[in-house]
Structure 1
Amino acid sequence: MLDIFKGKFAAMGFTEQSPIQTAVAEPMAAGKSVLGLAPTGSGKTLAFTWPMLENVRVGDGIQALILAPSQELAMQTTNVVRDWAQLVDAKVLAITGGANVKRQMEKLKKHPEIIVGTPGRITNLIADGKLKLGHLKLMIVDEADELLTDATLDQIREILDATFAETLQLGFFSATETKILDELPRWFGQQVEKIDVRAIDQTQGEVRHRTMEVGNSHRVDLLKRISRVDHLRALVFFNKMQELQHVSVELRHQHVDFVALTSNQRQVDREKALRLFRQGKVELLLTTDLAARGLDVPELPAVINYQLPKDVTTYIHRSGRTGRMGAEGLVLTLGNDHDVRDFKKMMKSTDYDIKPGYLVDYKIVDTKPSKVAPTLTFEHVSNPADVANGRHRVEGQGHPDHVAHAVVPNEPKPFKAPAKPKKKRSHNKHSKKKGMRKKNRERFNQD
């Protein structure tokens, strides 16, 4: 690491590099292609940033390209790389879909040394002759398990064909290993050194993994009450955009503060949603796996799986958004009894310690609440004074759907339903006039 980098590293309060940063430094500095496997939140971005910047020559054109699966991750990576690149006077440009392409082409004329982008926009600019990679020395594929699939794999190979480089250094980084990562030499025509530090990395903090059983019709209501837990902000993951939109309407109707991050939003709206969430101005960020892949939200308290992850890999990436760099975290997976059984069966082969969780007095606890009267809800209390005299609300699994509000009195008392009010007889104006006419007749006869 350059001395100027060491000074900034120490000024940021770090005392030692993470395992992945230490492991890839030498082979990358030597120009070798590597596959770096490390847990989420373990510092993979800086692991490839430092060696990359040491080899960049200012003024020699585009020498490094970093590919990311989403606009958000590309911008996040740009901010990190740019922060360190300014120490060596290197320029970094983000080229992503959703942004103004004409503005990006204008910035290309300033000859940046490093490009961070999404494969779709990069291939489009190459095809239009606006982006030339003849001097490219290094290409980094971040979240490689996600990018090296289907259409994006073809786009990455198109980008390689446009470099005209006989020996282009490659870097692949991921938190999970997929089959194609074992076949990199066949796909890219060169040897790739595998560096796996997942077994020795201890950078992640303590994360609790909990399930909460809830009926499908009450899931939104449970999410609303979870949002009221003290000091809790959460990324809420959905599998389908349709369900995310449905929940958004329900939460808005119930006056819950939240934002949504989806792939079909304008970039300015996506940036605003992330900014509000990172600043703590909203409690919930509703999103999908694609939109939130690799996102770093410092000290994020919780992740909520509103819909079950489709596989173990998806769960790893979702849960990796919390508990980063030593912080504590919580992962809540919601579902009915059938969903929870399927989820536990899927996760059986992993080392995660998954237990039931309960929402009690606006806290997520591991102990099931006792003395819950499942049929007595807060709304049934006819006398508000009962609340002041010792009655209190407990939210837990007393109700079959595990989300109902239940009232537990200090002393058992039989529940007495409030008496129904007597139905008033209705009188229309005609019957009233008829009665007046009768009274007038009687008075006339008396006279």
Structure 2
Amino acid sequence: MLEQYQAHFKALGYTEPTAIQTAVYGPLAGDQNVLGLAPTGSGKTVAFTLPALANLLPGDGTQLLVLEPSQELAIQTSRVMRDWAKLLDLKVAALTGGANVKRQTERLKKRPEVVVATPGRLLNLIQDRKLKTHLVSLIIIDEADDLLTGETLETVRAVAQAAPADVQLGFFSATDTPILHELEKWFGQTVERIDVREQDQTQGPVQHGLLQIGMGKRDQMLKRLLAIPNFRALVFFKQANTLKHTAAKFYHDHVSATSLTSDLRQVQREKALQDFRQGRTRLLLTTDVAARGLDIPKLPAVINYDLPSTVNEYVHRAGRTGRMGEPGQVINLGDDHDLRDLKKLLRETEYQLVPIYFQNKALTTERPVAVKPQEKKPESATATTATLSGQPAVKTQAPRANGATGQPAKVTEPAAAKKKSKKHKNRHNKNKGMRKKWRDRDAAHD
């Protein structure tokens, strides 16, 4: 490691490099093609940044290209690389789709040594001859398991073919996919495979919970989870329409939430992410495309509003929490059928899925016990029992003998009882008087 790196490494609070950072530094700095496999949150960005920057020449034009699957990840990576590049007097430019092309072209005129970009925008600038690649010596394909699929695979290959024939390649991923075993076939170069997923120790303790709840009650459950102190969560949806419906409902109810979707403008997406990172909003509603690879320090929880359909999706979602030794929580929402399917999907992984429940403004693994309603006690119950049932206790005493006559003292009846007895007596006396009146009238007629 360069001397400039060592001082900055300690200033950032790092005590030692992670497993992936140690394993790939030598091969990448030595011009070897590398495939680096490491868990999410293990420092892969720094792992390729340090050796890649070490071989660049300041002021010599664009020499390093870094491809990212999303705008957010490209901006995040460019910020990390810029922090290290300034130590070597190197410039970093971010080129993403959805941003102003003219402004990006102006940045390229400053001849940055490093360009971090999304594949589509990068290829367009190369084909329009706005970006010259004749000096490019290294191309990094980050999140390779995602970028090397579908149409994006051909875009990445086109970018690689636009560079010199002897360009060095670096692939990085948290999950292994079949195409990562066929890199030589697709790119025509031998690639050294470095897998440290078993040796890595950066993952913090993460609980993977199953919270059984129907689709119609999931929005209400998200609101209830916000009652947990200091709770924040990245909430994953499958369908953008469902996300928008929930976001609109939360906006109307003044819930502390915002959305991050691919159809938003770049400025809106950056603001949503910044608000969430700084704690101004507590729920970030997003999709797999928008949130892949995002680094949100000390994120307490990830919520799967819609359960993932593949193991790789679950790995990348769960990898947003529990990063760099911090504790985390994954909350999987679904009905009984959904949760059974998730267990089957992940049965060959090391994830331990446990049922969880929300009770008393907290998540717990203990099943709540149903409280039976109290039965009514008979009238002869004691005063203490009457008090527990919510009725005032009435003390009854035996009548005491009159000291003068020796006769039992008269027991005074409660006011309510006297009133009732008097009313009954009056009604009886009235009827009795009417009967006497009728008898007297009949006798007079006779």
Q: Is the shorter-chain TM-score for this pair beyond 0.5, marking a shared fold?
A: yes
What does the per-residue CA deviation read over 1:83-108, in whole Å, with 9 as the maximum and x for residues that have no partner?
A: 00000000000000111110000110
CA-CA distance at 1:412 after TM superposition: 7.6
Local SS of the residue matching 2:291: coil
Output aligned runs, 1:25-44, within 5 Å.
Answer: 25-44=25-44
Structure with higher Rg: it is: 2
Local SS of the residue matching 1:325: helix
* Partner of residue 159, structure 2: 159
Q: CA RMSD in A?
A: 1.5
What does the per-residue CA deviation read over 1:174-205, in whole Å, with 9 as the maximum and x for residues that have no partner?
A: 00000000000000001000000000101010
CA-CA distance at 1:365 after TM superposition: 1.0
C-alpha separation between the residues in 2 aligned to 1:329 and 1:254? 28
What does the per-residue CA deviation read over 1:402-436, in whole Å, with 9 as the maximum and x for residues that have no partner?
A: xxxxxxxx97889xxxxxxxxxxxxxxxxxxxxxx
C-alpha separation between the residues in 2 aligned to 1:180 and 1:411? 70
Would you say 1:361 and 2:360 are equivalent positions? yes
Which residues of structure 1 form unaligned runs of 5+?
375-409, 415-447
Output aligned runs, 1:197-346, within 5 Å.
Answer: 197-346=196-345
CA-CA distance at 1:229 after TM superposition: 1.3
CA-CA distance at 1:255 after TM superposition: 2.1
Output aligned runs, 1:172-191, within 5 Å.
Answer: 172-191=171-190
* Partner of residue 131, structure 2: 131
C-alpha separation between the residues in 1 aligned to 2:69 and 2:176? 16
What does the per-residue CA deviation read over 1:116-149, in whole Å, with 9 as the maximum and x for residues that have no partner?
A: 0000100111121111111000000000000000
What does the per-residue CA deviation read over 1:49-76, in whole Å, with 9 as the maximum and x for residues that have no partner?
A: 0001110001111100000000000000
Pairs aligned (count): 378
* Partner of residue 191, structure 2: 192
* Partner of residue 95, structure 2: 95
Output aligned runs, 1:31-180, within 5 Å.
Answer: 31-163=31-163, 165-180=164-179
C-alpha separation between the residues in 2 aligned to 1:64 and 1:237? 33
CA-CA distance at 1:161 after TM superposition: 1.8
Distance 1:293 1:411, change over 3 A: farther
C-alpha separation between the residues in 2 aligned to 1:44 and 1:53? 14
TM-score by length of 2: 0.83
| Aligned-residue identity in percent | 55
Higher alpha-carbon deviation: 30-39 or 365-374:
365-374
C-alpha separation between the residues in 1 aligned to 2:390 and 2:262? 54
Distance 1:247 1:126, change over 3 A: same
C-alpha separation between the residues in 1 aligned to 2:271 and 2:94? 18
Q: What amino acid maps onto 2:2 in structure 1?
A: L
Local SS of the residue matching 1:259: strand
* Partner of residue 21, structure 2: 21
Which residues of structure 2 form unaligned runs of 5+?
374-386, 392-446
C-alpha separation between the residues in 2 aligned to 1:53 and 1:130? 23
C-alpha separation between the residues in 2 aligned to 1:316 and 1:277? 22
C-alpha separation between the residues in 1 aligned to 2:388 and 2:119? 65
TM-score by length of 1: 0.83
CA-CA distance at 1:338 after TM superposition: 0.8
CA-CA distance at 1:253 after TM superposition: 2.8
C-alpha separation between the residues in 1 aligned to 2:260 and 2:9? 32
C-alpha separation between the residues in 2 aligned to 1:228 and 1:240? 26
* Partner of residue 2, structure 2: 2
CA-CA distance at 1:371 after TM superposition: 2.9
C-alpha separation between the residues in 1 aligned to 2:323 and 2:167? 32
C-alpha separation between the residues in 2 aligned to 1:280 and 1:183? 42
Q: What amino acid maps onto 2:162 in structure 1?
A: A
Local SS of the residue matching 1:315: helix
Distance 1:99 1:371, change over 3 A: same
Local SS of the residue matching 2:354: strand
